[in-house]
Amino acid sequence: MNNKRKHSLLLKLKNTNTVLISLISAILIIIIDYINPTDLLPYSLMMAIGFICVLMILWFMYSTNFWKLIKLQTINPIDFILFSIDITLIIYGLYLFCIKQLSTWKFKTAVVIFSIVLISEFFREICIHPFSDKTKRNKDKNIIDLRELYEGKIKSNTQPIIISDKAVNYDLLDRSVIVSLLNDAINDAYSSNAYVIGLEGEWGTGKTTIANLVQQRLRNNEDIKIVKDFNFWTAGSQTAILNSMYDSLLKAIGVDYNSTRMKRLLRRTANFVTTMPKMGKVLGQIIDEDITQNDVNQLKDKLEELILSSGKRYVFFVDDLDRADNLQVLFLLKMLGTLFNLPNLIFVLLYDKKRMNAIVDNGEDLNAAFAEKIINQEIRVPEVSEQVMQNIYKTGLSKLAIAYGVGNSEIQEIKPAIDLIVEQIKSIRDLKRIMNSACAIAFDKNNYLNRRDLLLLEFIHFKEPNLYKLIYDNSGYFISQDFTSFPSGMPWRWDKDNTEKIKKFYNENLSNYSKYLSILEMLFPYVKNYYNPGIYNSDQIIIQDMTGDNERRRQLRVCSDYYFNLYFSLTQNDYSKINVQVRNIVQEINEATTVKEITKSYNQLLTWDDDSLYLGIEDFRMYVDEINKDKRLFVARLILNSANGFSDRGMLSLRSELLIACSLLLERSEINKVSKMLQHFSKRYKLIGCLNALNNYVKDYGELQKVVMKSWYKVGANILNNKIDLYSNKNYEANNAWGFFNYVKQKRLPSKTIRNYLDSIISNKNVYRVLFDAITESTGTGGYGYRVEKDNYETMGLANISKIEDFLKNKKQINESQRRVLSVYQRFLKNDDNEREYYNNPINPNEL
């Protein structure tokens, strides 16, 4: 029965009393019309009664929310009522036609109501019901079976994908031998009694699939009819099972009729068979149940007559014995040994032998010998080799990832996780459940976390929720990098006592989950290094290879404190959001076709606040390898152009992070193109400090450092030869001049070179800028601290520049930043303890 027929109005009417109610209603209306109560009752009373009836109907509709059924897209009581009204009005109209009252108000009213109801029915049928069918079809698009997945018939990026768990009629395990064996057993089964075949195998071994394949073959045999619509497990009570068996058999024979007497007889027979304690006490129970043996024999003889007269054999496939309760299974066996022990009946029972034996052994009504007598032939479904099953599981999981739109590179990354998962999968059914749960989350297109880690964690959650909770509740024993809080950080990494705590925790808790250790080792470096110590570990401490920290952070691994909680909440935090944004910026850069588009994408970074930008640049450094080769050099140029716009405070400042990213991009570019690009900066004097820093970051790359150093030297030479004022508004940047000073030192020019340069360009306009370059800044609990460093003072030769004192004396009006520089400088000249002077906010170089 196809789905459209199954949900048709006419078929549903068959299962209701709608037509009968319509006929009764029509008779009542005709009787009322014949009596004509309007002649017997006053008009006002009739109006009052009518008004009250209308109110009652409206109140009923309101109190039961009946009106909401109009919006319901499925066939519902509204459709039955409309259909009933139409039938009633048609009959009443025929009555009026017969008595020649077509011109009366009654007939006209009936026609109007009939037309309105008919239009309503057409509207629901044309507009509402098809929409429901379309919605259902759209939903079914995402419900697929394994064969469609294996054959690659699923469009990529289909979301979500639900693997159907319904019985299928194809075999992924190549069990044609078993299919042929069962098919031949059914074809050759001729007996004066029912022939019972047991298809035995463990849960999930594919018994239902084999049965479906056999049914496909049997459809070509005109002498055999398959009994359909018998669902043993959902039948419920013993009476329902007996009725279902009887009705299904009659339908297969082609006699779809069941009298009231026969229904009553079936019910009493079911009660009789259910309550009998032993098969040998049938006659006594027949008397007690007020049912004669003759009644039972009549029922049995009637069935036998119908079966034999058809000249065909009838096959019952009884699935889901594993799911049924003990009483249902025992009752079925009794039926096969008594009432349905008929010629030309074949029963194929699908079961797990261990489960069946347990039911029979615990049953009070049967013994094992009787069960063995009932089952004439048993066919065993052998286990498929583990290697074959694992290959099927691997292929299925990989194909599912492709269907979700997971890229080839990511699929290669998750293959080790798939290899570990398939070792734990028990059956095809188990595979489907994992696909619909763990994989649905890990492969989702909106997943931004590491797919491999998320897949393994969701698998643990699916298979072993207690282990999942153990990991979440004890994060300190599993997080191994990017510590955001001190207690979970350095002590765990280095302290021997705390390392012993980790070892003790693993010994006491993970020993119960030994089969998941390989998965835990893949997820968490601490676990791996405890059970399989590497070169970075000893008996004293447990650490991870810190050289891989950046890669793990780039991949948003669960072992990072930045992302650990996200794997359990499936939400985002600032770390993950920034990582995703940086990843998107890199993708935009790669997709850009013009310089303008690349610049626009890069400039997104520059709009972030300092904290976000710091994390963003850290992540950006991790993605440089993913930037297309033809774009790397231009991005490096953009970084150099913008580096001066960011603070260089701290050991690893924003500017330093940017320049490190720039160095990585240059390292991955062609050296001759790097040289050509850097030529554009030969007169960018404001960037000499950045070029100096960049030279330090590329010192491990011989050829590249030569090119960078050459560019740096060229800018330095231009400054020296042309007396370029680095402290002018055009070229000034705090500490930028140190790029020039370091150039002089590295070229080993005379020590007075720097002093002479400063003496030539210093003025009352830039004197505070010059002094500020001799001052260092630190931050601490006291605020921002400043002092003149003696080495800087001597390198700059400030003691020999007499103009400084004159400029300081003559400059009467100074701002707060200038006042602080002067105070720090004078404190140094007084030879005080040279302690730092602290302020609540930093000196602003732009005010100097």
pLDDT greater than 70 at residue 549:
yes
Cα separation of 207 and 308, whole Å?
30
What digits encode the pLDDT tens for the residues 668-682?
888 999 899 888 888
Tokens of 699: 């010192």
pLDDT greater than 90 at residue 429:
no
Between 264 and 164, the higher pLDDT residue: 164
Whole-number pLDDT of residue 284: 40
Average pLDDT (193-201) is: 89
* Residues β-bridged to residue 349: 198, 318
Cα separation of 656 and 822, whole Å?
28
The 8 Å CB, 24+ separation contacts for 698-702 are 698/663, 698/666, 698/667, 701/667
pLDDT greater than 50 at residue 5:
no
Phi (first) and psi of residue 753, to 5 degrees? -60, -45
pLDDT greater than 90 at residue 476:
no
Cα separation of 436 and 455, whole Å?
12
Any idea which of 459-473, 530-544, 833-847 has the lowest mean pLDDT?
530-544
Whole-number pLDDT of residue 830: 84
Q: Which amino acid is at 59?
A: W
Q: Which residue has the tokens 């040994």?
A: 337
Whole-number pLDDT of residue 466: 94
What digits encode the pLDDT tens for the residues 343-360?
999 999 988 888 887 777
pLDDT category, 473, cuts 50, 70, 90?
very high
Whole-number pLDDT of residue 771: 93
- Calculate the average pLDDT of the chain: 81
Any idea which of 182-196, 256-270, 345-359, 609-623 has the lowest mean pLDDT?
256-270
pLDDT category, 26, cuts 50, 70, 90?
confident
The 8 Å CB, 24+ separation contacts for 140-146 are 146/172, 146/396, 146/428, 146/432
* DSSP code string of 109-164: HHHHHHHHHHHHHHHIIIIIHHHHHHHHHHHHTTEE-HHHHHTT-SPTT-SS-EE-
Contacts of 222 (CB under 8 A, 6+ apart): 312
Any idea which of 66-70, 278-282, 491-495 has the lowest mean pLDDT?
278-282
Q: What CATH architecture does domain 176-380 belong to? A: 3-Layer(aba) Sandwich (3.40)
Cα separation of 240 and 576, whole Å?
57
Asked if residues 757 and 739 have their Cβ atoms less than 8 Å apart, the reply is no
What digits encode the pLDDT tens for the residues 739-751?
999 999 998 998 8
Whether residue 77 has a cis bond before it, omega within 30° of 0: no
Tokens of 781: 């609990």
- Portion of the chain with pLDDT greater than 90, in percent: 15
Average pLDDT (226-252) is: 79
pLDDT category, 115, cuts 50, 70, 90?
confident
Whole-number pLDDT of residue 470: 94
Whole-number pLDDT of residue 11: 62
- Selection from 213, 203, 145, 204 nearest residue 178 by Cα: 213
pLDDT greater than 90 at residue 282:
no
What digits encode the pLDDT tens for the residues 749-786?
988 899 999 989 998 889 899 999 999 888 878 888 88
Contacts of 268 (CB under 8 A, 6+ apart): 289, 290, 291, 295
Query: pTM here?
Result: 0.70
Between 47 and 766, the higher pLDDT residue: 766
Between 81 and 10, the higher pLDDT residue: 81
Whole-number pLDDT of residue 573: 85
Cα separation of 563 and 574, whole Å?
10
pLDDT category, 520, cuts 50, 70, 90?
very high
Any idea which of 168-177, 499-508, 514-523, 689-698 has the lowest mean pLDDT?
168-177
pLDDT category, 491, cuts 50, 70, 90?
very low
Name the burial class of residue 833, with classes exposed (0-12), middle (13-18) and buried (19+) by CB atoms within 10 angstroms of its CB: exposed
Between 67 and 631, the higher pLDDT residue: 631
pLDDT category, 713, cuts 50, 70, 90?
very high
Whole-number pLDDT of residue 734: 87
Whole-number pLDDT of residue 421: 94
Question: Could you tell me the residue ranges of all domains in the chain?
Answer: 3-140, 176-380, 386-542, 572-723, 750-848
Whole-number pLDDT of residue 477: 87
Q: Which residue has the tokens 């009705």?
A: 247
What digits encode the pLDDT tens for the residues 632-666?
999 999 988 888 877 776 656 888 888 988 999 99
Q: Which residue has the tokens 């049953």?
A: 363
Whole-number pLDDT of residue 780: 78
Whole-number pLDDT of residue 32: 80
How many Cβ atoms sit within 10 Å of the Cβ of residue 709? 18
Q: How far is CA 843 from CA 400, 490, 737, 779, in A?
A: 59, 34, 18, 12
Tokens of 86: 């139409």
- Selection from 336, 287, 286 nearest residue 316 by Cα: 336
Q: What DSSP designation does 436 have?
A: I
How many Cβ atoms sit within 10 Å of the Cβ of residue 355? 18
- 3-class secondary-structure state, position 582: helix
